Amino acid sequence: MKKLINDPADVVGEALQGMARAHPTELRVDMTNRVVFRADAPVRGKVGILSGGGSGHEPLHGGFVGHGMLDAACAGEVFTSPVPDQMLAATTGVDGGAGVLHIVKNYTGDVMNFEMAAELAAAETGGPVESVVIDDDVAVQDSLYTAGRRGVGATLFVEKIAGAAAEQGRPLGEVADIARRVDDGARSMGMALTSCTVPAKGTPTFDLPDDEIEIGIGIHGEPGRRRVPLASAHDIAGMLVEPVLADRDFTADGGVLALVNGMGGTPLIELYLMYGEIAALLDKAGVTVARSLVGSYVTSLDMAGCSLTLLQLDDELLRLWDAPVSTTGLRWGM
Amino acid sequence: MKKLINDPADVVGEALQGMARAHPTELRVDMTNRVVFRADAPVRGKVGILSGGGSGHEPLHGGFVGHGMLDAACAGEVFTSPVPDQMLAATTGVDGGAGVLHIVKNYTGDVMNFEMAAELAAAETGGPVESVVIDDDVAVQDSLYTAGRRGVGATLFVEKIAGAAAEQGRPLGEVADIARRVDDGARSMGMALTSCTVPAKGTPTFDLPDDEIEIGIGIHGEPGRRRVPLASAHDIAGMLVEPVLADRDFTADGGVLALVNGMGGTPLIELYLMYGEIAALLDKAGVTVARSLVGSYVTSLDMAGCSLTLLQLDDELLRLWDAPVSTTGLRWGM
C-alpha cells in the first residue's frame, strides 16, 4: 500500500487536523467528536444543515461545510458510519433555533445512526430534526451495506440546494421538502478502472484485471452491475448515460444539472474528456445541460474511475444551485 | 494502460472540447490553436496574462483562465510544449492594448517557443511582450528537458498574483516585476509514490518498486534527487520541508503562502494529512503560514504523490493573492 499516511489507524484524525490547520478562519473542527463546523455555527434563526458519513469520500462532506451549504459534517472512520454521539454533538452544535436537517446517504449504518441521533437530539433539546435519505444510484437495488439504492453524487446536489434554501431563511419543512425533491429528481451511475485500498486493510478492496472495468460500482468498492472489457471513453460514457436515462425522464423544461465526478485517482484531463463524451450523448437524447460540474467531489479513496449524476432542474432548483456558496470544496458568487 | 480516453492521439483535443462544453459562458476555446481564452478576452486597457505548456498538468493552465488570473492558456500535447503559432494566436488574442505577459515554466521547449512567439507578436502587432520564467523547484539543477531549475508549483502563484496586478490596471513593467518577485520568493519540492503513464506511450514513465518512493520528482516523471524506502507521511513531510527551507529563508514578516499540491492520482484526504504534517514542521522552523492551499493544482497525469511550494509573502503579495479570482480551478471573492 502506497499512501501519504502514518499509522492507518490515525488517518481520519490526522486528515481532520490538517483540514483544521488549512482553514482556520472558515472552519472549526471538534477533534473529540470529529465534526467539521462552519466557523460561525450555529447561525441564529437558520435551519442547521448537517451531513456526514464514512471518510474516504473527500471533499464530501467536510469540504462542503460553509456559507450556503452545510453547517457541519461528521467524519466516521474510512468507509464506516459515524456514531450517534458524533451526530448528536453536531446536531446540537448547528441548532440555531430553527431546527436541523440531516442529509443521510442510504447506507444501513448511516441511516440507523442518524435516526438514533435525531431521537437523542429531540430528547435533549426538543428542537425539531428532519431527515432526507439520498438514494440516487441506479446501478443496483440493495447492495453491500445498503437496503434500496445507494446514495452517491446527488448528495452534493442536496447539500448545496438545501443549504441555499436554509440560507434564505426558509423553515425546516420547506428545506426538507426541497432536499427530497432534489433526491427524487437525481440519478447516478458510476464505474471503476481500479479498486481502492482502505488504509486499515492495506490491500485493494477487490481485484480488477488490467483489461477489465467495473460498471455500476459503489463509492466503497461495492460490487457493481457487471464487469466488461476495458473500453473507450466513448463507450464508457454510453454505459453511464444509458442506465441513468432509462431510469428517469430528464427532458423536462429547465434542463439538467450534470456532474461528472472523479473517484479520487482519476486526473482532471480524463474527467473533461469524459464530460465531452457524456454531453454529446445527452445532446442526442434531447437532454439539455443547464449547469455542469466536472471534478473529484464524491470520491472513493484512490479509486480510478468516474460517475455521472443528473438532476432535473426547474426554476427554483436552478436559482438555489446558482446561489452563493463558500466552502473549501465548492465556492462561487461570494 | 487504464484511462478514460479514446485514441491516445486525441486526448488533448477531446479534453479541451469537454472543457469548452463544461464552461460555455466563462471560457472560449480556440480548438484550431488549442488556446483557452477567458470569454471576454481581450480586456481593453488591461495587460494580457498568458501562460501554457504541455498538457497533463490540469487544472494548470486552462483551469486558471478567468477574471483575476490568466487571459488565456495554450495547451500543448501531453508533456510537450505548445508551438510558437499557438502562443502567437494567444498573444494577439489577449492583447488589449496594454501589452502581454508570458508566464513560462522553465523547460527548454517552452522557453524557446515562447521567445519565438514573443518576437513574432512584436513583429506582427508591435505590442510589447514581457516574459517571466518560473524556476522554483529546488530538487535538481538541470534535468531532463531543463537548463537550471524546473518550474512547478510557483507557476500557480505567479499566475494568480500577476493576474490580480493586471486586473488592477497596473502597467506591463510593474506586472512583470511582480511576477518575477513571486518567482524569486518561491521554492518547491515534490515526491512521487508512483509513476505516471503518458497516453501515447501506454506504460509507466519509470519503474518505482512497491516499497520505494522518489524524492525530488519533476512534474513529467523526470528523475528526482534520490529514491528512498516507502516512508511515513511525517518523514516524507520532512523530506519536502527541509530542502525548501535550506534553499531560502522564509521567516520574514508577512509569513508564507503554502501550497500542498497533489500530483493527480492522490486523494484529498492524504493531502490534508500531509498539510498537517508540513504545517507542524513549519511551526518548528519558525515559519508562519499566512495563507494555504491544499489540492491537486499542478499535476502530472495520474501520478500519486505531492509537492510543497512556499512563497514568502509581503503586504502587497498578500493583497494580490487575496484579490478576487474567478476561474474554473480557483475561485474566491466574487
A positions 83-102 inside 8 Å of B (CB)? none
Query: With a cut of 0.95, is the ipTM above it?
Result: yes
pLDDT band at B163 (very low <50, low <70, confident <90, very high): very high
B25 touches A at CB < 8 Å: no
**Bond into B59 cis (ω within 30):** yes
Q: Could you tell me if B150 and B194 lie in one domain?
A: no
Is B334 a domain residue? no
Neighbours of A127 (CB within 10 A): 17
Q: Could you tell me if B24 and B101 lie in one domain?
A: yes
Q: What local confidence, expressed as pLDDT, does residue B257 receive?
A: 98
Q: Could you tell me if B216 and B159 lie in one domain?
A: no
Q: What local confidence, expressed as pLDDT, does residue B125 receive?
A: 82
A-chain residues near B4 (CB < 8 A)? 193, 233, 236, 266, 270-271, 273-274, 305-306
Q: Could you tell me if A42 and A165 lie in one domain?
A: yes
Tell me the C-alpha distance between A328 and B294, whole Å. Answer: 9
User: Does residue B312 contact residue B274 with C-beta atoms inside 8 Å?
Assistant: no
Tell me the C-alpha distance between B46 and B97, whole Å. Answer: 7
Partner-chain contact B4 A306, CB within 8 Å: yes
Tell me the C-alpha distance between A89 and A34, whole Å. Answer: 10
SS3 category, A250: coil
Provide Rg for chain B, Cα atoms.
19
Tell me the C-alpha distance between A17 and A21, whole Å. Answer: 6
pLDDT average, residue stretch B258-287: 98
> What is the tens place of the pLDDT at every residue in A266-284?
999 999 999 999 999 999 9
User: Does residue B165 contact residue B318 with C-beta atoms inside 8 Å?
Assistant: no
What nine digits make up the cell of A102?
Answer: 440531516
Q: Could you tell me if A106 and A228 lie in one domain?
A: no
User: Does residue B304 contact residue B217 with C-beta atoms inside 8 Å?
Assistant: no
Report the CATH number that the domain containing residue B106 is assigned in CATH: 3.40.50.10440
Q: Could you tell me if A145 and A195 lie in one domain?
A: no
pLDDT average, residue stretch A15-33: 98
Q: Could you tell me if A139 and A169 lie in one domain?
A: yes
Is B47 a domain residue? yes
Residue ending a domain, among B182, B214, B246, is B182
Q: What local confidence, expressed as pLDDT, does residue A278 receive?
A: 98
pLDDT average, residue stretch B309-317: 98
> What is the tens place of the pLDDT at every residue in B83-104?
999 999 999 999 999 999 999 9
Cα first-last separation, chain A: 40
| Minimal C-alpha gap between B125 and chain A (Å) | 33
Give the residue numbers spanning the domain of B285: 186-324
DSSP A180-194: HHHHHTEEEEEEESS
Geometric angle at alpha carbon A263, from A259 and A268, rounded to 5°: 70
SS3 category, A65: strand
Q: What local confidence, expressed as pLDDT, does residue A140 receive?
A: 87
Q: Could you tell me if B47 and B160 lie in one domain?
A: yes
What mean pLDDT, rounded, does chain A reach?
Answer: 97
What mean pLDDT, rounded, does chain B reach?
Answer: 97
pLDDT band at B167 (very low <50, low <70, confident <90, very high): very high
Residues contacting A264, CB < 8 A, separation 6+: A196, A296, A299, A300, A301, A302, A303, A304, B267, B268
> What is the tens place of the pLDDT at every residue in A163-207?
999 999 999 999 999 999 999 999 999 999 999 999 999 999 999
B76 touches A at CB < 8 Å: no
pLDDT band at A233 (very low <50, low <70, confident <90, very high): very high
Residues contacting B56, CB < 8 A, separation 6+: A267, A269, B78, B79, B196, B198, B220, B299, B300, B301
Q: Which of B300, B220, B239, B242 is nearest to B266 (CA)?
A: B300
Q: What local confidence, expressed as pLDDT, does residue A223 receive?
A: 82
Q: Which of A123, A125, A104 is nearest to A114 (CA)?
A: A104
> What is the tens place of the pLDDT at every residue in A110-136?
999 999 999 999 998 888 999 999 999
> What is the tens place of the pLDDT at every residue in B17-48?
999 999 999 999 999 999 999 999 999 999 99
Q: At A263, which amino acid appears?
A: M
Give yes or no for residue B262 having a pLDDT over 80.
Answer: yes
Q: What local confidence, expressed as pLDDT, does residue B223 receive?
A: 82
Q: Could you tell me if B309 and B169 lie in one domain?
A: no
> What is the tens place of the pLDDT at every residue in A72-93?
999 999 999 999 999 999 999 9
* Count of domains observed in chain A: 2
Is B3 a domain residue? no
Is A117 a domain residue? yes
**For residue B291, what is the nearest residue in chain A, using CA coordinates?**
A22
What nine digits make up the cell of B66?
Answer: 478567468
Is B332 a domain residue? no
DSSP B255-287: -EEEEEEE-BSS-HHHHHHHHHHHHHHHHHTT-
Is A2 a domain residue? no
User: Does residue B14 contact residue A273 with C-beta atoms inside 8 Å?
Assistant: yes
Q: What local confidence, expressed as pLDDT, does residue B141 receive?
A: 86
Give, to the nearest 10 degrees, the angle between helix B11-22 and helix A268-284.
Answer: 70
> What is the tens place of the pLDDT at every residue in A39-80?
999 999 999 999 999 999 999 999 999 999 999 999 999 999
Residue A288: its H or E element: none
Tell me the C-alpha distance between A124 and A133, whole Å. Answer: 23
Determine which of A4, A287, A300 to mutate to test the interface with B (most B C-beta atoms within 10 Å): A4
